[in-house]
Amino acid sequence: MRSRPFAPLLIAAVTAAGAAQAEPPPPQGVVSLNASASVEVTKDLLNVVLSTTREGQDATTVQTQLKQALDAALAEARKAAKPGQLEVQTGNFSLYPRYAAKGGINGWQGSAELVIEGKDMPAIGALTGRISTMTIGRVSYGVSRELREKVEGEVTAQAIARYRAKAAEYAKLFGYSGYVIREVNVGASEPPGYSPAPMIRAKAMSASADEALPVEAGKAPIVVNVNGTVQMTK
């Protein structure tokens, strides 16, 4: 009668032993690898931000002056607008009080922006020279989605080929005849967004609005990374 309490313990021990035997052995001949490929492309997007500021004693007057400057710039920009090649949109428009040293409002000041961007860099550069009511605030360059996707296919193939070559080489060095891919991840790193052009150029162009903006886009890297594990085989 006293032996009954030990029965559950015995069953539990047998179950635990069975579970331990069922666990698969740790994998042998598995190696983690990574490879990458990259190519530099010429940036094909230009982004120019034009801006203007006004100040005065009356908020309505300042706002009207900003709107007039922006409307004039928009009218000129819309003449040159082409979908995907030269697109125009308004940017920040702000109006805020100006305070005296001893407190209290003694005037108003504000600013307005116009954003021009697209692939037709010569046309954008020429347009900025025709806008006289605003000056160049920022100039930056980027890579379009179309160009990135086109190049990524070629770079991905290079990265995968390098990964497979590295896997075959490692298998040979470890004395194996081949390999089988266990898991693999392929990812492209996003190229940097719009990168600013030297500010000295933007300032120089601000002083002379009747000259076209000189453009030189530069290059950006497109990078694809491949990483994962392979099972080396005899």
pLDDT score at 218? 87
Tell me which of 3.20.20.140, 3.30.70.2970, 2.40.160.40, 2.120.10.30 is the CATH number of domain 45-142+194-216: 3.30.70.2970
Query: 23-56, pLDDT tens digit by residue?
Result: 666 678 899 999 999 999 999 999 999 999 999 9
pLDDT score at 216? 80
pLDDT class for 214, splitting at 50, 70, 90?
A: confident
pLDDT-wise least confident of 65-74, 83-92, 114-123, 202-211:
202-211
| Angle, in degrees to the nearest 10, between helices 121-130 and 59-80 | 140
Query: 89-127, pLDDT tens digit by residue?
Result: 999 999 999 888 888 888 999 999 999 999 999 999 999
DSSP classification of residue 26: P
Do 137 and 49 contact (CB within 8 A), yes or no? yes
Please determine, for residue 70, whether its predicted confidence score (pLDDT) is greater than 70.
Answer: yes
pLDDT score at 8? 52
Please determine, for residue 154, whether its predicted confidence score (pLDDT) is greater than 80.
Answer: yes
Do 72 and 133 contact (CB within 8 A), yes or no? yes
Query: 155-176, pLDDT tens digit by residue?
Result: 999 999 999 999 999 999 999 9
Tell me what the pLDDT averaged over the chain comes to: 85
Start-end of H helices in the chain? 7-22, 59-80, 121-130, 145-173, 199-206
pLDDT class for 79, splitting at 50, 70, 90?
A: very high
Do 136 and 36 contact (CB within 8 A), yes or no? no
User: How far apart are the C-alpha atoms of 54 and 52, rounded to whole Å?
Assistant: 7
pLDDT score at 213? 81
Please provide the DSSP assignment of 112-169 as one string. Answer: EEEEEEES-HHHHHHHHHH--SSEEEEEEEE--HHHHHHHHHHHHHHHHHHHHHHHHH
pLDDT class for 193, splitting at 50, 70, 90?
A: low
pTM of the complete model beyond 0.85 = no
pLDDT score at 196? 62
